[in-house]
Amino acid sequence: MRYVGLAWFLCGVSLHRLVEYRADFMIGLVGFLLRVGVQVALVHIIFSLVPSVHGWDYEQVLFLLGFAILARGMDKLFTDNLWMVGGFLVRTGDLFRFMIRPVRPLFLVIAERFFWPDALGEILLGLVLVVYAGSRVGLGVPLAEAAVTGPLLVLCGALVFTGVKLVTASLAFWTTTSHPVMHGANQISEFSGYPLELYGPVLRRALVWVLPFAFTAYFPARYLLFGERDEVLWSPVAAAAVLAVGLTLWSTGLRRYEMTGS
């Protein structure tokens, strides 16, 4: 309960800061629009050449892409400060300032910037894509069911993103900086916005078993669009598993942390 109150308060602080850093916000927004614009354009181009890809048509892929953007946006809205851990907090020793407070360090790191406004753009755009494509193509499950499971699946997807970010960020405790690894994982997560059938067997298995990005959008989309429930049931398990690994690495790393300098 205490953490909920603190989170609320720190959200307010973050919003307050947003006003002060409007330029930051605008740059973030433009960058994001460019990136997503390219993704949507790519899908558009592919489907102007072929009518369907491995049984997925244009609107279905848009739905999948939208779902991926939505889950990623939800994660980004709250936890993107984890990038700082892999980037410089461990390397420079500045992580100490989260360890001298009577609150969990992980919470403090994340809460230092709790509210990433450019993520609002992603969430909005993801929603638009999902609703637009979903209404055009029709769902494979009853709408009432989708209204309940959809948000839960977005949450699971967001937690998978968070978990992977936590795992890769925590590696910095052993390697002093893990920014390249985080970046790599982030690149791989882009694969989650397209049908898995597009990829070779190795990448496919990796997206299920190693970095389970398949659970962020692909399996949920298959369930929502085609009514295939077998894999999607494992979404919460996948999210819990990655988070568990991440939290274990984080606390083990924190214990062996050696603050450098001074």
Partner 1 sequence: MIRAESLVKEFRSYERGTGLRGGLATLFNRSYKSVRAVDAVSFELEEGARTAYIGANGAGKSTTVKMLTGIMTPTSGRCLVNGREPYLNRRRAALDMGVVFGQRSQLWWDLSVPDSFRILRRLYRIPDSVYQRNLRLYREMLDIDALGTTPVRQLSLGQRMRAEIAASLLHDPRVVFWDEPTVGLDLRLKESVRELITHANRELGTTVLLTSHDIGDITAICDRVLVVDRGRVIHRGTVRELAGTATSRSVLFGHQEGLGEEETLTRVRSVLPGSAASVMEDGRFRVDYPSAAFGSREVLSILLEHFEVTDCYAPEPDLESVVREIYGAGTGAV
Q: Which residues bind partner 1 (CB under 8 A)?
A: 6, 9-10, 13, 16-17, 20-21, 93-94, 96-97, 99-105, 112, 255-259, 261-262
- Quote the least distance from Cβ 170 to partner 1, whole Å: 17
Spatial CA neighbour of 44 closest among 133, 146, 104: 133
Closer to partner 1 by CB, 93 or 236: give it: 93
- Quote the least distance from Cβ 111 to partner 1, whole Å: 9
CA 56/CA 59 separation, integer angstroms: 8
Number of residues that make up the chain: 262
Closer to partner 1 by CB, 58 or 115: give it: 115
Closer to partner 1 by CB, 112 or 231: give it: 112
* Residue that is written with structure tokens 């990005």 in the block: 213
- Quote the least distance from Cβ 102 to partner 1, whole Å: 4
- Quote the least distance from Cβ 30 to partner 1, whole Å: 21
CA 6/CA 108 separation, integer angstroms: 10
Identify the bridge partners of residue 53 per DSSP, sorted by sequence position. 56
Contacts of residue 17, defined as CB under 8 A and 6 or more positions apart, other chains included, come to 113
Closer to partner 1 by CB, 90 or 156: give it: 90
Q: Dump strand ranges (E) for the chain.
A: 52-53, 56-57
- Quote the least distance from Cβ 171 to partner 1, whole Å: 17
CA 134/CA 140 separation, integer angstroms: 10
CA 32/CA 121 separation, integer angstroms: 8
CA 214/CA 204 separation, integer angstroms: 8
- Quote the least distance from Cβ 99 to partner 1, whole Å: 5
Closer to partner 1 by CB, 54 or 256: give it: 256
Closer to partner 1 by CB, 44 or 97: give it: 97
